[in-house]
Structure 1
């Protein structure tokens, strides 16, 4: 697989060099990003006496783009691994658990309107691609994770000076079947890329309508995703999933607003989710969010906000009120320690997040942010404990040595309550009450443009 992808990249490169068209444009880029982390309760608090983890992960990417008359091509290959994952004489990247080499992007975009039409475009984009809309809360590329997120999809894009209408669709299968379309929704390696509990969607469709404002945008999203139905059998006393014909349908719709009013930036969103989740349970969930950021001076800004997602069950106990934030980038919103809506669940309780954010720009190359979060459950926690989950503080500093080289360091601390580690939430016995996380990330990202 690795040889085939590299061979395809080389063939593409040779083909581009031999393409003799004055309108052609070729871009070549690379990225090497290493991140050393100290995890002492990142994701979930550790039990008392448990030692913290230290490791270095690395993302290595090679990307190429080619633009010609009425078309664009994009290709990104990447290798993601932890230092020492492979011993020095045996390569294990072909195993299910250590498949770090992958195709991040491989897409073509066709201009359906002639390029002489300057103020309107109608394009068809097909292939493996990132979907990143608005603030990335529901559809984002999850760039923080070394492996990122991508979709195998088709996308029709109509855009004018102030409006954009995107229609997207995806349909997943495990292989070239001779009959039927049953989809095994748990990929090899069980990479939990979404909050669907490691369950990948079988199909997805969305409509995105956006309008540019003076210094921002307003948009409407309707997204439907389907999950393969299943039933559970008991094999030797263990529950085993068997995939069946048919799908569970889920839909999410809502509005997003973002604009800058002089020194005040305002962002707000509201979404409603209904249908059935990946487990076949009827759902009725909501997400509400609002925040502001005020520029005190050219180098310093501060703001505050609140996020609210519903959770728990309805009064009848038959409907889940747990909102699922789909395929976004939770690391950017609900605390850098990823306690909520990331790989580690918290019992579908819903979340109230009250936060303050500050940003200091000490010159054109250095930036520092300091954020504080106060987390509460949106639903009742059995046992009579408080709904308060705890407090988190996040400190991040970035330094751009040049356009190619940048350094980033961060430290986070979480003061948790017994509610967070309760059996119905994270279910951790004898948990420590203070958790820490620190990292140092170095990124090199050179780019080359040829015409």
Structure 2
């Protein structure tokens, strides 16, 4: 009996060992590598009657179709990711010489402890995108050639960013013109974010130093240093969302003038139900004092010894200050800025599945006191709709109306005799992932 029992034990042990060996050999290896190819096609038709232009052209009507194409490839595995995105943008029927460019080309090394390094051409998105944003509404999305080092973990995020630009035809420390990827010679930034445990509260601090040169005088290779410091806070308890931001600019701008400018914003939104959200807010951006509006056919001769007008730098400008993009996208007559006050209310409604609507009202005024004009710029009404036709395909449409004032007409030269401005648009967005593989 004992020999039989011993033989059985030996047989079972060998069988279990053999099964473990088979399981070990046959167990599939985890797929750690992922490669994807994605496309973003954006086509938008616009009809404008007034707006954007600050010329004295009597015909303010414009109709055009613009498009942007992004073709991206991305590779991921634990500890390493890389992405390359080509971009084409242009207006239907035109022949642009610089319509193709490289939007993204970066590599990111990531440790298990939260440390990372990302280098190459990349977009920078922080907080509400007021200072750093991709500006996806624009036909040429914004990116930066930069090195980013940081840590993310345990509710803390800290990013250190550095960039240095040079012209390929002038590599020996010469002048860097604003016609490059970004209008700065060098840029350094420090961003810190903290999410408070057990409280729906997040806060960020941002510091920037931007080195700029005067592109109008090639002989002047001086790099002027301009700084920005500020904070952003977001509180989101259940249905309520409250946002506050403040930024202060100082240093020296590219004409050698000292800078003393600031901006503040406050926004609140409340979800009445899953389909309806109401919101409102106020933006204040400081402006240049003693702002004189030159008459038609004349040049402004006001001398400024200090720049008080706030610059929104590299943010997603279309997201703020009214959808018609009168402010911080195109310049004022004379080149200075009287600043801006933007008081707005609105609501978002989802009446049926896949359809969303947004209706808002803006009262716009200058921040600085004007000579011979009052501060009021006008009233703007906006409506926008978005419908998801299918996965990765959506169609949007919008209409904006502005009743401008004499001040608006003098500053922008962009309203008709009735002080009315109209803008309508329709846009198709197609953004599929056309290929994904893992191994």
TM tier, smaller: 0.7 to 0.9
* 8 Å contact kept, 1:78–1:102: yes
Q: 1:331 aligns with which of 315, 318, 322?
A: 318
User: Which residue of the partner structure matches residue 320 of structure 1?
Assistant: 307
1:119-159 per-position Cα deviation (integer Å, ceiling 9, x unaligned) = x3111101100001001001000100011101011100210
Calculate the aligned-residue CA RMSD, in Å.
2.3
1:185-204 per-position Cα deviation (integer Å, ceiling 9, x unaligned) = 234xxxxx9xxxxx811100
Q: CA deviation at 1:261?
A: 1.8
* 8 Å contact kept, 1:204–1:223: yes
User: Which residue of the partner structure matches residue 209 of structure 1?
Assistant: 192
Q: CA deviation at 1:362?
A: 2.0
* Farther-moved stretch of structure 1 (319-328 vs 48-57): 48-57
Q: CA deviation at 1:81?
A: 1.3
Residues matched between the structures, number? 394
Q: CA deviation at 1:178?
A: 5.4
* 8 Å contact kept, 1:229–1:243: no
Q: CA deviation at 1:449?
A: 2.7
Matches of 1:45 and 1:306, distance apart in 2:
26
After TM superposition, the score normalised by the length of structure 2 is 0.85
Instruction: Flag the 1:429–1:255 CA change in 2: closer, same or farther, 3 A.
Output: closer
Q: 1:223 aligns with which of 208, 224, 240?
A: 208
User: Which residue of the partner structure matches residue 13 of structure 2?
Assistant: none
* 8 Å contact kept, 2:191–2:207: yes
1:334-355 per-position Cα deviation (integer Å, ceiling 9, x unaligned) = 0000011112336410111111
* 8 Å contact kept, 2:358–2:384: yes
Pair 1:85 & 2:97 matched:
no
SS at 2:380's partner residue? Answer: strand
* 8 Å contact kept, 2:409–2:419: no
* 8 Å contact kept, 1:184–1:243: no
Q: CA deviation at 1:317?
A: 5.0
Q: CA deviation at 1:245?
A: 2.7
- Structure 1: tracts of 5 or more residues without a match: 1-19, 87-92, 188-192, 194-198, 231-239
* 8 Å contact kept, 1:294–1:303: yes
- Structure 2: tracts of 5 or more residues without a match: 1-28, 292-302
Select the structure of larger CA radius of gyration.
2
* 8 Å contact kept, 1:336–1:412: yes
* 8 Å contact kept, 1:312–1:349: yes
Matches of 2:401 and 2:53, distance apart in 1:
12
Pair 1:277 & 2:253 matched:
yes
SS at 2:223's partner residue? Answer: strand
Pair 1:101 & 2:100 matched:
yes
Matches of 1:168 and 1:124, distance apart in 2:
10
After TM superposition, the score normalised by the length of structure 1 is 0.82
* 8 Å contact kept, 1:284–1:320: yes
User: Which residue of the partner structure matches residue 172 of structure 1?
Assistant: 165
1:162-197 per-position Cα deviation (integer Å, ceiling 9, x unaligned) = 11000001100011645224212234xxxxx9xxxx
Pair 1:406 & 2:394 matched:
yes
User: Which residue of the partner structure matches residue 368 of structure 2?
Assistant: 379
* 8 Å contact kept, 1:314–1:321: no
User: Which residue of the partner structure matches residue 343 of structure 1?
Assistant: 330
SS at 1:331's partner residue? Answer: helix
SS at 1:419's partner residue? Answer: helix
